[in-house]
Amino acid sequence: MKKENREHPIQDSFTGNNIKNIQKAIAQGKNILICGVEGVGKITNTVQAVKDATNVYYLGNPLDYEGKMRPGSYEKYLTYINSLKRDIKIIEDIEGFFTITQPIILIIDEIYGRSNAEFSQISRLLDMKNIQVIQITGCIKNMKRLIDKIDFILELHIEGAFSVEKDLAQTICRILGKEKPVSKLF
């Protein structure tokens, strides 16, 4: 007997347009995970998907999902993010979000390489009702400590996207997400 897909009702409606795919994913829940291989456009497409939204914030990470510094300089990368959406607010410290009461969208770039304190802060943000979090990561396994708080998972590819069932993502995290000690890297 075929199991009905109740968790992700839009599963079959993804197309080759990843901006629209991300917009559909954002409509599915509060905490969204966007993942995919390097160069698939996780950040570019996500920022373009929220281009018309107000109160959009971006929390960067100078490291990619492999722990490597981003190509070029981090400052150039932030300039590029800002060029995609002129009114995006680029932030470095998430402490200020804990006092905000207005609805906002927060794009968090890459989870890999973040300290235990940062994981705790991100976990708190995922629980806040007024903040829609769009977490970007290269690999689902890096979400091990936070995967239970994610409402919808979208895996991007050059040709399109597909949703990942939460139980599969949890299994990926459990099997592949072996944590290494991480100190504050920036």
Largest CA distance in the chain: 53
The owner of tokens 């200020």 is 96
In the prediction, which pLDDT does 180 show? Answer: 54
pLDDT in tens, 60-90: 887 766 667 776 778 888 999 999 999 999 9
In the prediction, which pLDDT does 71 show? Answer: 67
In the prediction, which pLDDT does 53 show? Answer: 96
- The domains found in the chain, sorted by start residue, are 32-154 (3.40.50.300)
In the prediction, which pLDDT does 99 show? Answer: 87
What would the DSSP string read from start to end of 95-152? Answer: GGGGG--S-EEEEEE--TT--HHHHHHHHHHHH-TTEEEEEEES-GGGGTTTGGG-SE
In the prediction, which pLDDT does 125 show? Answer: 95
Which positions of the chain have pLDDT values less than 50? 1-5, 8, 10, 181-186
